[in-house]
Amino acid sequence: MHHHHLILRVVTKMLVGAIMLFAFYVQFHGDFSPGGGFQAGVIMAVAFIIYGIVFGLDKAEQVFPPWLVHKLVALGVLLYAGVGVVSMLLGYNYLDYDAFSPHHPSHGQHWGILLVELGVGITVTGVMVAIYYAFAGRPPPMKDEDW
Amino acid sequence: MAAEETHHVAKTFMDHLPVLQVVIPLFAAPIIVFIGKRSLAWPIAFAASAAAFVISCILLIQVLDGGFISYHVGGWAPPLGIEYRIDAANALVLALISGIGTVVLPYAYESVKAEIPKKNHTLFYACFMLCFTGLLGMVATGDAFNVFVFLEISSLSTYVLVAQGANHNKRALTAAYDYLIMGTIGATFFIIGLAMLYMATGTLNMADLADRIADEGTNRTIRAAFAFIVVGMGLKVAIYPLHHWLPNAYTFAPSAVSVFLAATATKAAIYVLLRFMFSVFNPSFVFEEWTLYIVFIPFSLLAMFAASFVAVFQTNIKRMLAYSSIAQIGYMLLGIAMLNATGLSATLVHLVNHGVTKAALFMGVGAMMLYSGSAFFNNLNGLGRKMPLTGAAMVASGLSLIGVPGTAGFISKWVLVQAAFENGWWIIAIAIMLSSLLAVIYVWRMFEVLYLTAPDPQSTAKEAPLAMLVPMWVLAIACIWFGFDTELTLGSARVAADGLLAGSAGMAH
């Protein structure tokens, strides 16, 4: 395995960091430029998926264990719904971001959408990686040598 | 801006009820996954559904006078923002869904242990909560696009829940796949319809849609939207020729899932259909009257007879009950097609009564499957005698399925016949009674197998565990109770029917 695809492995190693950085850019710059949680989540997941494709599923699962993936799927939804619940506890409607900064509602809106989109991003990352693990983890019907 | 905000009045717990009953189960699902402990999954799910039930009862009491409650999600006022809108029609369905969910969970505890591998339990309850959220959400919301979102949440989790039956019978996988394809086509048609409505009116809020369609009249786009929405929702409702997914899904799903789906999923879809046909579109439009008379009446009559007839010849009791569900959906559609207040209340009251009845029957079958291993009639021989309490609950709810006086089923059929006479459609009234005779045949077959055949001497069957018996009897007693005390069911159904028939005026701000 380690003797094959030298160029692929080197390029992938270089790219993974850049892909993650770009995911964070799309995530947190999403309110000023095109982007947001969905796109960022998919891009972030791509970093793990390309690592898994090139270095093997077991290596990818060492970096990003499946139990953690499942927790992240739930965590993102919890963050989203939790923002709504907190705004409710502060005496505003569900997901009314004004609650986070009553005197400067526009700041509150800013904080609210940032947190909610972070939740979306976390869940989308988790779901995409979970789908990849589920498909890649299926035992092949026949081994490569049997062809 | 800042000056306005100083006038903000803090919202209280009571103000949040419309959204809370959707948010609580929505929150419960990821918590179950996040904690990831099998022993905590069931308690969390049960607490969430019980809370949703209490909330929906409070809401139902608040709107019984014919008013409505509007909740603005995110503080954005409709028609721009998403509105949750509770009136008598959806409060009744919400109470049904959350009530059934709360009763099914204690039952599920035992049946899930027996039917589903241990490692899937945590995710099963999370999926159950998502399905529950989706059904509640699509009924509670007043925003047309939000209906689609919740419809997808409930559908996707339903496919997973149905597929969980694979441990018992591999055909659950193909059943779930069939349902996935049909359900997705339905949802796609629905969203195409919504897109057309949005194109024609520029709004997605139901009340606003109703106003605009009423003001501007119809055009080809709106008529096409109507057709797409009726067919799309019709697939989820399982209107007779679009019912193909239903028998397999109900037959091969785990018992607890069959109970929950049979009592709630098609009912929520019928509510959405009602909401679109009566509130968003105006029934006075000629094209809608034609749809009701030319499409709904023949197909519902066909469902009542053909599906009941098919049910008579089934060899699997769950399948028989599934076909009977398709026939009962025929009654509900017939009530809609009557286009009068009595017919609509018949639909709404049958929605509740049939939900309770069918849930009790499926619970009985599920309890017997614990010992028989399958739901085929020849595996259930004499089990009514070995499991007297389970058998008795099935007899009580079986009688309600036929519509014997003194049971819930009688009330809904009685109101439906009344509605037929109001329109002078005595042939249809006779058809309703004749199709009930078919129900007598298949329910009698069930009684015969349970009581009049010799039990298998090697059978180890004994009475079902208490956790299954109590929910079963709660529903069986409800079947009888709603046959005598119709104040709650028929009373709120009448208020709801009046609200729906008021058309777009019933949606006024």
Q: Does residue A35 have a pLDDT over 90?
A: no
Give the pLDDT mean for A39-57.
94
Residue B40 and residue B32: Cα distance in Å, rounded?
Answer: 7
| Chain-chain contact of B10 with A94 (C-beta, under 8 angstroms) | no
Q: Is residue B54 part of a domain?
A: yes
Q: Are B256 and B108 in contact (CB under 8 A)?
A: yes
Q: Determine which helix (DSSP H) or strand (DSSP E) holds B84, and give its type and residue range.
A: strand B83-86
Q: How confident is the model at residue B2, as a pLDDT?
A: 45
Q: How far does the CA of residue B133 sit from the closest CA of chain A (Å)?
A: 13
pLDDT at B212 over 80: yes
Q: In chain B, which residue's Cα lies nearest the Cα of A106?
A: B1
ipTM: 0.89
| Greater model confidence, B433 or B8 | B433
pLDDT of residue B246: 94
Residue type, A63: V
Start-to-end CA distance of chain A, whole Å, equals 18
Report CB contact under 8 Å: B1, A105.
Answer: yes
Average pLDDT of B110-126?
92
**A-B Cβ pairs (cutoff 8 Å, strict):** 74
Crossing angle (nearest 10°) for helices B317-338 and B255-274: 10
- Spell out which residues of chain A touch residue B20, defining contact as CB-CB under 8 Å: 88
DSSP letter at B11 equals: P
> Chain B residues within 8 A (CB-CB) of chain A?
1-2, 5, 8, 10-11, 16, 19-20, 23, 26-27, 29-34, 36, 71-75
B16, B23, B75 ranked by CB distance to A81: nearest: B23
Task: Give the domain range for residue A80.
Answer: 6-146
Whether the per-residue pLDDT at B1 is higher than 50: the answer is no
The CA distance from B168 to the nearest CA of chain A, in Å, is 22
Instruction: Flag if A88 and B72 touch (Cβ within 8 Å).
Output: no
Please indicate whether, in this complex, the C-beta atoms of A103 and B33 are within 8 angstroms of each other. no
- Alpha-carbon span B80 to B496, nearest angstrom: 26
Instruction: State which H helix or E strand residue B85 sits in.
Output: strand B83-86
pLDDT of amino acid B225: 93
B405 lies in a domain? Answer: yes
To probe the interface with B, which of A79, A89, A94, A115 has the most B CB atoms within 10 Å?
Answer: A94
Closest CB to A74 among B19, B30, B71:
B30
The CA-atom distances, in angstroms, between A45 and each of A22, A35, A72, A133, B7 are 12, 15, 12, 11, 44
Helices (H), B36-86: 38-63
Asked, for residue A71, whether it belongs to a domain, the answer is: yes
| B69 membership: H or E segment, kind and range | strand B69-72
Spatial neighbors of B140 by CB under 8 A, at least 6 apart, are B18, B19, B21, B22, B84, B85, B86, B90, B94
| B5 within domain boundaries | no
Output the pLDDT for position B506: 57
**Closest-CA distance of chain B to residue A46, Å:** 23
Count of domains observed in chain A: 1
- Residues of A with CB below 8 A from B75's CB? 92-93, 95-96, 98
The whole-number pLDDT of residue B10 equals 81
pLDDT band at B504 (very low <50, low <70, confident <90, very high): low
Residue B60 pLDDT > 80? yes
Provide the 8-state DSSP code for B275.
Answer: I
A129 within some domain: yes
In a domain, B198, yes or no: yes
Number of domains in chain B: 1
Q: What is the pLDDT of residue A5?
A: 82
Specify the DSSP class assigned to residue B218: -
Residue B248 reports pLDDT greater than 60: yes
Supply the range of the domain harboring residue B170. 14-507
The confidence band for B275, taking pLDDT boundaries of 50, 70 and 90, is very high
For B302, the token pair is 């066909």
For residues B214, B217, B223, B226, the Cα torsion angle rounded to the nearest 10 degrees is: 0
Q: How far apart are CA A34 and CA A19, in angstroms?
A: 17
pLDDT digits (tens, 9 = 90+) for B328-370: 999 999 999 988 899 999 999 999 999 999 999 999 999 999 8
DSSP assignment of B146-167: HHHHHHHHHHHHHHHHHHGGGG
In this complex, which of A84, A90, A97 lies closest to B23 when CB atoms are compared? A84
Q: How many Å apart are CA B304 and CA B335, to the nearest integer?
A: 12
Is this structure's pTM higher than 0.90?
A: yes
Nearest CA in chain A to B72: A93
Looking at chain B, the whole-number percentage of residues with pLDDT higher than 70 is: 97
3-state secondary structure B370-411: HHHCCCEHHHCCCHHHHCHHHHHHHHHHHHHHHCCCCCHHHH
Taking contacts as CB-CB distances below 8 angstroms, the residues of chain A near B29 are 74, 77
Quick check: is A1 in a domain?
A: no
| Residue A27 structure tokens | 């995530």
Residue B64 inside a domain? The answer is: yes
CA dist B412 → A62, A123, B301 (Å): 60, 45, 16
**What's chain A's length in residues?**
147
Q: Whole-number mean pLDDT of chain B?
A: 91
Q: How confident is the model at residue B378 (pLDDT cuts 50, 70, 90)?
A: confident
Measured distance CA(B303)–CA(B311) in Å, rounded: 11
Cα–Cα distance, B331 to B333 (Å, whole number): 5
Chain A residues closer than 8 Å to B2 by CB:
103-105
Asked if B74's CB is within 8 angstroms of A93's CB, the reply is yes
pLDDT at position B65 is 85
- In three state form, how does the secondary structure of B281-327 look? CCCCCHHHHHHHHHHHHHHHHHHHHHHHHHHHCCCEHHHHHHHHHHH
pLDDT at B6 over 70: no
Say if residue B241 is preceded by a cis peptide, omega within 30 of 0: no
Identify the contact set of chain A against chain B, taking CB-CB distances under 8 A. 67, 70-71, 73-75, 77-78, 81-82, 84-85, 88, 90-98, 102-106
The C-alpha atoms of residue B197 and residue B212 are separated, in whole angstroms, by 10
The pLDDT value given to residue B505: 60
Residue A11 has pLDDT above 50, yes or no: yes
Beta partners for B84? B71, B141
Q: What is d(CA A85, CA A79) in angstroms, rounded to the nearest whole number? A: 10
Question: Across residues B369-392, what is the average pLDDT?
Answer: 89
Contacts of A75 in chain B (CB under 8 A): 30, 34
Give A23→chain B minimum CA distance, Å: 24
Task: Work out whether strand B69-72 and strand B83-86 pair parallel, antiparallel, or are unpaired.
Answer: antiparallel
**CB A48 within 8 Å of CB A63:** yes
Which one-letter DSSP state was computed for residue A97? Answer: G
- How large a percentage of chain B has pLDDT more than 90? 76
